[in-house]
Amino acid sequence: MNKDIITEKLKVLVKPYVPEGKLLNNINEDTNLIKDLEINSINLIDVILDIELEFGIEIDNVSMEKMTTVGSAIEIIMNKLGRPGTSDA
């Protein structure tokens, strides 16, 4: 699965938790889930569960703590999916 597909799927997954749709218009790798997208911190748990379900992966607690931006989320998803050449593969 390439990065663009993952990014699009991610946008769909976070949408229910973003208070205003327009916040999703100009996202980039540095977009902060809580500060920029205004997702309530408690809903990050739900975002992660939805990601696990969508991609068929499991995100451990250590990885969960690192998932603060769109970029880090994509990175973690790709790692868990087994990106070629990484030690997780």
Q: Smallest Cα–Cα separation from 43: which of 17, 75, 77, 11?
A: 17
Is residue 46 close enough to count as binding another protein by CB under 8 A?
A: yes
Is residue 54 close enough to count as binding another protein by CB under 8 A?
A: no
Is residue 49 close enough to count as binding another protein by CB under 8 A?
A: yes
Q: Between residues 17 and 57, which has the closer beta carbon with respect to another protein?
A: 17
Q: How far apart are CA 61 and CA 40, in angstroms?
A: 19
Q: How far apart are CA 11 and CA 37, in angstroms?
A: 11
The least distance separating another protein from the CB of residue 58, rounded to whole angstroms, comes to: 9
Q: Between residues 14 and 74, which has the closer beta carbon with respect to another protein?
A: 14
